A and B are shown apart, each in its own frame.
Chain A
Amino acid sequence: MKTVIPTIETKRLILRGPEAEDYPDFKATFSSYRSRFMGGPLNTYEAWMLYAAEMGHWQIRGFGMWMIHDKVTDETYGMAGGWKPAGWPEREIAWIIWPDKAGKGYALEATSAARRYFYETLGWDGAVSYIDPKNLDSIRLAERLGAKKDNEAATIDGSDAVYRHPSPEALKGSQLAHGIEMEISHYADPLFKPKGWAID
């Protein structure tokens, strides 16, 4: 049976499965220096093969990477979701934002929605992110998502650091979860004022 890829809506974004028409945006980023921490830069053939593999991943695993679209304009901003090709020790939560779309909180908004889907709908009991130690932007995002470096965990090939996401129980109703929501709200509306404050 073919996996029907679910659609997720957030404040500003809509996450849909990768579609053929989004390939040029994917190729632009994966053939650029931006993709250096994601196995790139790739040549044209490699980029196309990887995009096809992104689609196949959904069918083989029943989950995968979503394409991040603007809810209003449908423009793409990057990808976020789950990734577990052969050789991955654990299920990974991954993301990449197109270079000219960074700094607007899209990765945080998309990734935290993807994680909620994996935890609440697919019943995952946890996840990790494999990050190149030089990829400071992604490490910062992993930390904002509450992931902590796990020096004991198996890596993919010894050159990546493992960041372990909080479990569904640790996340549910936590100050961290509340903080992520507030941060996303602030990105969506810079004049956003939270009602009340989290108590430390």
Chain B
Amino acid sequence: MCASALTLETERLILRRPAPRDKDSIVAFYMSERSQYTGGNQPLFGAWKMAAMMYGQWEINGFGLWAVTMKGDDSILGLVGPFYPDGWPETEFGWLMFDGSEGKGIAFEAAQAALKDARERLGWREIVHYINPENARSVALAERLGAVYDPEAPQPFEDRPALIYRQPKSEVAA
């Protein structure tokens, strides 16, 4: 598998596989309150494990969240893309934008490209977004991406219900 060479390009962005050089930015994010809705706001050990996991998920699944970078600057601004750990009821698509990267349409631009890739290259038909009920900004992004609230969708964690938004079923890809 040569997933490491794979990149997606948008007007302003390059999406690439997470790399060891992204570790410090990912750790900082998971140790900050910004990550409180996405399994973060953790002590150092937990945040480090999340950074290692961001790399390793690609090894297990062959896909995962993409590191989002601006064209001409390789530093990571956030992570956007497909997420499908063991035990997940459905194929999820998520986003994590780091401090300073919000409010510029970066997540939206990256998500559009990565959603298209998930549909066309990975062949995903059903795509959901699991969102913490407090996370209004992510709800807004899910809606902007065309997803609709689905109260019937199975929960990843029964004891901590998420708001689940569902993308319209994609047309059959080529």
Q: Write the residues of chain A forming the contact surface with B, with a CB cutoff of 8 angstroms.
A: 2, 18, 20, 23, 27, 43-45, 47-57, 59-60, 85-87
Contacts and interface: CB of A to CB of B under 8 A. Distances in A.
Contact of B60 (A51, A85, A86, A87): A51
Interface centre among A18, A54, A55 (most CB of B within 10 A): A55
B159 to A, nearest CB: 11
Interface residues of B, number: 28
Contacts of B88: 45
Contact of A60 (B23, B57, B59, B156): B23
B20 interface: yes
- If over half of B's interface residues share one DSSP class (helix, strand or loop), that class is named, otherwise mixed; here it is helix
A60 B87 contact: no
A49 B87 contact: no
Interface string B92-126: 00000000000000000000000000000000000
B143 to A, nearest CB: 26
Contacts of B20: 59-60
Interface of B: 4, 19-20, 23, 27, 43-45, 47-57, 59-61, 85-88, 156-157
Given A44-B86, A60-B20, A53 B49 contact: yes
17 contacts: A20-B59, A27-B86, A45-B88, A45-B156, A49-B50, A52-B52, A52-B53, A52-B56, A52-B57, A52-B60, A55-B52, A55-B59, A60-B23, A85-B45, A85-B49, A86-B44, A86-B45
Contact of A45 (B43, B50, B56, B85): B85
A49 B51 contact: no
